[in-house]
Amino acid sequence: MAKSRPGEHEFLAPDEWESWGALMLLHRSVLKGLDAELRREHGLAVTEFDVLITLFNAPRKRLRMSALADRVLLSPAGTTHLVTRLERDRMVRREVDPTDRRKWFTVLTEEGDLALRAARRTHNEVLRRMLLGATRPSERQTLRRMWQRLSQQQPHPLSPPE
């Protein structure tokens, strides 16, 4: 960490700042590209795709609303709003939790599965172009090692596709 005097800003060291900056630039550009292409080709926002793929990978293709919000990194209110839109479009449905009738599950529907299946090709093409095309094999290997280490620390890590 770069030194600072009391009352002044604290700065990251150049290698720290550039590491953070690289991560943010890559993240922003890939998400922006994903969102634009998914909207144009499939009428789906990247957050909607994220909900669909998260449900697809969940046991029985369903999650409690709170677990879904946690996994897609949205607030409970934001998740409720997003699920309401996806429910309107018949891509998901809500089911009451039979063990606790105050809680709800969000369930991927057949329409949602079809939309996800169609959007995956676009999703993968964008990732191949914007993430994999912007990184070298050695950098991707470093990212994989980081993912393997960090995912072990998460309560619900992203799962690789089956």
Backbone angles phi, psi at 4, to 5 degrees: -140, 160
What pTM, to 2 d.p., does this model score? Answer: 0.84
Share of the chain above pLDDT 70, in %: 91
Mean pLDDT of 127-150: 93
Is 135 in contact with 143 (CB distance < 8 Å)? yes
Domain extent listing, the chain: 42-134
Where do the DSSP E strands lie in 39-114? 62-64, 92-96, 104-108
Residue-by-residue DSSP string for 103-138: -EEEEE-HHHHHHHHHHHHHHHHHIIIIIITTS-HH
3-state SS class at 40: helix
Residue 20 has pLDDT above 90, yes or no: yes
pLDDT digits (tens, 9 = 90+) for 71-129: 999 999 999 999 999 999 999 999 998 888 888 999 999 999 999 999 999 999 999 99
Architecture of domain 42-134: Orthogonal Bundle (1.10)
The Cα 31–Cα 43 span in angstroms is: 15
**Residue matched to tokens 């089956």:** 162
